[in-house]
């Protein structure tokens, strides 16, 4: 189990998740309202939520990698 966490929490994986999450949140914000008079699109909410989840997973893996660095 620790070997799996160590492989998942590698630096390039954490950075990739953070970047993909940030891009999805940005895409969701851009897709939300192309015109201020229209209601937000449902797809924009899904993009934003997925981006936040990926960013949160990235932060969790970063913390795990910090704790595992002593071993």
pTM for the model stands at 0.81
The separation between CA 25 and the C-alpha centre of its own chain, rounded to angstroms, equals: 8
The tokens describing 58, both together, are 């990235």
Query: Do you know the residue count of the chain?
Result: 71
Q: How far is CA 49 from CA 24, 26, 33, in A?
A: 9, 11, 16
Where exactly are the structural domains of the chain? 2-68
**Mean pLDDT, each 10-residue run in order, the chain (71 residues):** 83 94 94 75 90 96 87 62
**The predicted structure's pLDDT at residue 71:** 62
**The predicted structure's pLDDT at residue 41:** 79
User: HSE-up of 27 (CA within 13 Å, CB side)?
Assistant: 14
The tokens describing 68, both together, are 């595992």
**The predicted structure's pLDDT at residue 68:** 85
């Amino acid at each position: 189990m620790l070997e799996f966490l160590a492989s998942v929490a590698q630096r390039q994986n954490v950075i990739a998740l953070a970047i993909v999450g940030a891009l999805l949140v940005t895409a969701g914000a851009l897709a939300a309202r192309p015109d201020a008079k229209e209601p937000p699109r449902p797809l924009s909410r899904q993009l934003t939520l997925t981006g936040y989840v990926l960013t949160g997973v990235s932060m969790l893996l970063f913390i795990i990698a910090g704790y595992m660095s002593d071993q």
